[in-house]
Structure 1
Amino acid sequence: MTHPMSGVQGLPTFTRHITTHNADGIAIFETSDPAKSTPSNSSGAGSLAAEPTWSNFPTSAFGLGYATDHMPPDFNGNGDLATFNKYQEQHPGVVIKGGSVFRAVDMAPGATSPMHRTVSIDYGVILEGEIELELDSGEKRLLKRGDMFVQRGTMHKWKNPSESQPARLVVVQLESKELEVEGKGALKEEFRF
């Protein structure tokens, strides 16, 4: 079930702005204008809410910015928008095979993810707070606001090391090929709880 707001307290709300084209091929916004108090029409341009939908967990939340089910996306007939609308109600998994996922991740103070690996390349930026990135080798790095990361199918976990401040990162996840390690075979998706 999705929610209209992040369950992690203390972070600013934000909006997303999705573009499209009108019948004349002119660029317009598909999302409603959050600066206007009047809601837009219920179909066509301006019909999507500017606020992301959220999946909330006890110490973290995932806000869906956008998702596609194939690459490259096909904008003809707004097929990508139809796919995205489906995912707004039922968020996709971490990775969509053949597609893309753009999301915000909010972490409460002290929150830690499980050690995990996804078969994907993940591009991300820390927007608020700090995040500790730990690899299964035991190596750790403290990522600060504005720092970028690229996860290349590695086993890792995230931790918000602050005892009082929430943290937010934004990430784009794209499916990758499984990594073959000589003598060990393919490194598959894995979550260690």
Structure 2
Amino acid sequence: MTQSASEVKGLPVFNRHITTHNAEGKAIFQTPDPANPDSLTSAPAPPISTVPTWTNYPGSAFGLGYATQTTSPDLSRNADLDTFYKYLHEHPPVVIPGGVVFRVVDMAPGGGSPMHRTISIDYGVVLEGEIELELDSGEKRRIPRGDMFVQRGTAHRWRNPSDTQPVRLLVVQADSKEVVIEGKGALPESFSL
């Protein structure tokens, strides 16, 4: 079930701005200007809100920025917008097989995730706060605001070490092939919320 806002308090509200093309091939905005909601005059596909939709869990929330069913989406005839429009009402899984998910992850003070592995390569940056990343080897590292991370199919868990400050991550998750370790085989996906 999607909701209109993150339930994690203390983080700024943000907007999403999506572009497309008009019939003459000129670039236009698919989303209205948040400062002037009536500004959208000629977008060729269904209207898309500037406000991300959210899936909230206890202590965390996923805000959907965009999603495609392939890593090479078809931008002609707005096929990718039609796909994304469906995801606005029912969020995609953490990773779309063959696709890409662009999202924001909010985490309340003291919040965390279970140890998990997705069959994906995840690119991220800490937008607000500081996050602790723990790997299944036991290694831990604090990642401060502004630092980037790349998760390459590794088993990991996230934890917000602050008792007072929320955390916001910007993450792009792209489907990948399984990680195969010589003599061990493919490492399995393990993810549950």
CA distance in 1, matches of 2:93, 2:108: 21
Matches within 5 A, 1:19-168: 19-38=19-38, 40=40, 44=44, 47-168=47-168
Offset, 1:47:
2.2
Return structure 1 stretches of 4+ with deviation > 2 angstroms: 37-47
Question: Where does structure 2 lack aligned partners over 5 or more consecutive residues?
Answer: none
Q: 1:161 to 1:28 in 2, by over 3 A?
A: same
Question: Where does structure 1 lack aligned partners over 5 or more consecutive residues?
Answer: none
Normalising by structure 2, we get a TM-score of 0.95
Normalising by structure 1, we get a TM-score of 0.95
CA distance in 2, matches of 1:50, 1:123: 23
User: 1:41, 1:47 within 8 Å by CA — same for their partners in 2?
Assistant: no
- Spell out, residue by residue over 1:123-176, the C-alpha distance to the aligned partner (whole angstroms, 9 max, x if none): 000000000000001101100110000000000000000000100000000011
User: 2:131, 2:161 within 8 Å by CA — same for their partners in 1?
Assistant: yes
- Spell out, residue by residue over 1:33-62, the C-alpha distance to the aligned partner (whole angstroms, 9 max, x if none): 101153746973682111100001110000
Q: 1:80 to 1:46 in 2, by over 3 A?
A: closer
CA distance in 2, matches of 1:102, 1:131: 19
Secondary structure, counterpart of 1:117 in structure 2: coil
Bigger CA drift: 180-189 or 99-108?
180-189
CA distance in 1, matches of 2:87, 2:165: 30
The code of the aligned residue for 1:171 comes to V
CA distance in 2, matches of 1:40, 1:164: 39
Secondary structure, counterpart of 2:13 in structure 1: coil
Q: 1:178 to 1:28 in 2, by over 3 A?
A: same
User: 1:115, 1:192 within 8 Å by CA — same for their partners in 2?
Assistant: no
Q: Does 1:170 align with 2:170?
A: yes
User: 2:16, 2:50 within 8 Å by CA — same for their partners in 1?
Assistant: yes
The code of the aligned residue for 1:26 comes to K
Instruction: State percent identity of aligned pairs.
Output: 65
Kindly report the root-mean-square deviation, in angstroms, between the aligned alpha carbons of the 2 structures. Answer: 1.7
Secondary structure, counterpart of 2:84 in structure 1: helix
Q: 1:132 to 1:176 in 2, by over 3 A?
A: same
Q: Does 1:3 align with 2:41?
A: no
CA distance in 2, matches of 1:170, 1:86: 22
User: 2:46, 2:85 within 8 Å by CA — same for their partners in 1?
Assistant: no
Q: 1:37 to 1:98 in 2, by over 3 A?
A: closer
The code of the aligned residue for 2:38 comes to T
